[in-house]
Amino acid sequence: QPAPVPTYQPVDLSEGRMVALFDHVRNMLEMGIEATFPGKGFANAMLVGSNVSYKSAAALTLLKRIDGLGFPYKTAHDIASAIHKNLPKSTLLESSHFEVDERGFITVVVPAKLLATILTNIVVHGVLPPKQEKKKRVIIDFSSPNIAKEMHVGHLRSTIIGESLCRLLEYRGFEVLRVNHVGDWGTQFGMLIAHLKDEFPNFRNESPPIGDLQAFYKASKKRFDADEEFKKRAYTEVVKLQAGTDADVRHAWKLICDESRREFELIYKRLHVTIKEKGESFYQPMMPSVVADLEKRGFVQVEDGRKIMFVPDQAVPLTVEKSDGGYTYDTSDLAAIKYRIEEEHADWIIYVVDVGQSLHLETVFSAAKHVGWLDPAKVRVDHVAFGLVLGEDGKKFKTRSGDTVRLVDLLDEAVERAKVVLDSKRGGDLQPEEYAAALDAVSYGAVKYADLSTSRTSDYTFSFDRMLKLVGNTAPYLLYAYTRMSSIARNAGIDVSKEIAKHPCEFTEGPELALARALIRFPEILNRITDDLMPHTLGSFLYEICQLYSTFYEKLRIIEHDVDKATGTKTIKSIHYPRLALCEAASLVLKQGLSILGMDVVGKM
Ligand code: ARG
């Protein structure tokens, strides 16, 4: 006989904390399982369609395996029914709100009254994140371009995805440290410094007008490849830089870094990205002791003069010190992970880096575990990998002349193209500052959304035509939908959050219920992307909201007007307040969702 089920404590659905409902359902299901199969309390709640479901079918196969012989349930449906029978008592939901289907899915159909309460709270209080008991600290390593090599589209992906994850976790109440792990210490500095000394001999006293850094990089690379003498000099410059004893070399290095930094900053500013630089060189002072410590503890061996470290289960060893005594990308990542855990006390570290570096990062993580810096039970570490950016020809994204695409040019083109889109609608009757805001929202929004709305693990094809389409899962579509949702109350001069308290809120029509049910899934979507760090799920969700909204708007009247035949002036005849509240809630959810994707909304476009 199953143990009697305790009554589940009611949750506080006040304010806009809709996550409470989702957690409530999950807890109820977990307790149902606990009562049915004591000691087997694992649950995997999810929302299916407009309802909350419990994926009992999958859980049950597992249970069957655990219990082996004598398991009294034959089908997934049997098991789901048993869980259903044992649901705890709740003040919010009754057993009749849960349905069990043949596949063993338990679905809860949220009653209309509860929907109305939740949506009213959203309108009155805004869309609030769940409360966190303990503020956890997460370090997000993203963007991370290399100094003097122009930031390219791969770094753009990292910047866009990273910014979005920062916003997600900030919204959820984490303390987020945004770290730009710039490549400012590689061997490329040898040739850059040597070239700088030749081109601007007066660099010590006068800031050199390097100007185009990419051209500067190319020119020094050309010399490096063609001229043995220059190559040798480049080499001695790196050694001096890494030894840290030559003030001139250090100064030249700093000049080059500063120039790069100015360029990166322009991009971050345009994209509304905030990030703090802590590049490879930051960890430089720690590297000797990191290597010494690893050596002392017997983790290091010497091969061809290099110091290397084999890591269990990893094919390729890490190089912790080169034969000339210099350190590597591996060393800086080892020092960085140690610092992040031991000095910065991270509870979670996220690396937003292209999939090409999976092996490298995996090896670094394994090494950190192996030597005891990283305890996976205490610190979560993720590599958020992403695929390549392809051109419309399906090949690596390049300019027509075959060069790497510069981000500034790309963003400039986005703005030009967005102008055409805006002007094709009604851009003309906007005030100049409204037009500027709309242009910003559409152009950068389109670039960001095109990236974030596709699964990050696949390669993605960069296409202005596609990302700027007015229909479909695109930024312009979502942004226009937002202006429609938010303008209804504004145009009618109604403060919905005040009015809604005076009018009973109830939903009865299909399109109202469908939209309301979808809106309350927002917290579940956020839970999900916090787990799997796949923001495209949020994009699909917001797109679905906009589509449901458009059906709702077509089918049902929100505000009715009387029109004076003679003058053409409109006066409000009647207002359907619950529907107006639904519009308002939809616009709030959409705005919050888009903001997590790094996008700004505008009231008019
Ligand atoms: N600078 C590197 C690159 O452009 C990315 C650095 C990523 N972060 C890290 N901790 N390894 O490829």
Ligand 1 nearest-atom number relative to CA 182: 1
Matching CATH number, 137-389, of 3.30.1300.10, 3.40.50.720, 3.40.190.10, 3.40.50.620: 3.40.50.620
Q: Could you give the CA distance from residue 343 to residue 347 in angstroms, rounded to a whole number?
A: 12
**Structure tokens, 576:** 């359907």
Q: Could you give the CA distance from residue 496 to residue 124 in angstroms, rounded to a whole number?
A: 8
| Helix/strand/coil for 309 | strand
Say how many Å lie between the CA of residue 412 and the centre of ligand 1: 26
Q: Could you give the CA distance from residue 486 to residue 480 in angstroms, rounded to a whole number?
A: 10
Decide: 283 and 179 in contact? Cβ < 8 Å. Answer: no
Q: Classify the phi-psi angles of 194: left when phi > 0, otherwise alpha if psi is within -120 to 50, otherwise beta.
A: alpha
Ligand 1 nearest-atom number relative to CA 361: 11
DSSP state of 473: S
Say how many Å lie between the CA of residue 360 and the centre of ligand 1: 10
Say how many Å lie between the CA of residue 142 and the centre of ligand 1: 8
Return the CATH superfamily for domain 407-596: Isoleucyl-tRNA Synthetase; Domain 1 (1.10.730.10)
Q: Is the pLDDT of residue 70 over 60?
A: no
Q: For residue 80, which phi and psi values (nearest 5 degrees)?
A: -60, -40
Tell me which residue has its CA closest to atom 6 in ligand 1.
144
Question: Each residue of 549-586: pLDDT tens digit?
Answer: 999 999 999 999 999 999 989 889 999 999 999 999 99
Tell me which residue has its CA closest to atom 4 in ligand 1.
145
Query: Residue 44's pLDDT is what?
Result: 47
Question: Each residue of 344-399: pLDDT tens digit?
Answer: 999 999 999 999 999 999 999 999 999 999 999 999 999 999 999 999 888 888 87
Q: Is the pLDDT of residue 22 over 80?
A: no
Lowest mean pLDDT among 32-46, 163-177, 219-233: 32-46
Q: Is the pLDDT of residue 214 over 90?
A: no
pLDDT-derived band at 9, boundaries 50, 70, 90: low
Say how many Å lie between the CA of residue 226 and the centre of ligand 1: 28
Pocket of ligand 1 (CB under 6 A): 141, 144-146, 181, 183, 333, 336, 351, 353
In sequence order, what E strands does 206-273 have?
none
Question: Each residue of 232-256: pLDDT tens digit?
Answer: 999 999 989 988 889 999 999 999 9
Amino acid occupying residue 349: I
Ligand 1 nearest-atom number relative to CA 333: 10
Decide: 139 and 351 in contact? Cβ < 8 Å. Answer: no
Say how many Å lie between the CA of residue 376 and the centre of ligand 1: 22
* Pairing assessment for the beta strands 175-180 and 137-141 based on DSSP bridges: parallel
Mutate which of 278, 283, 353, 381 for ligand 1? The one with the most ligand atoms within 8 Å of its CB, which is 353
Q: What percent of the chain has a predicted confidence (pLDDT) above 70? A: 89
Q: Could you give the CA distance from residue 428 to residue 91 in angstroms, rounded to a whole number?
A: 53
Asked whether the ipTM of the predicted complex exceeds the cut of 0.85, the reply is yes
What is the value of pTM for the model shown?
0.91
| Cα torsion angle, 570, 576, 578, 579, sign | negative
Q: Is the pLDDT of residue 19 over 70?
A: no
Q: Could you give the CA distance from residue 523 to residue 45 in angstroms, rounded to a whole number?
A: 13
Tell me which residue has its CA closest to atom 8 in ligand 1.
181
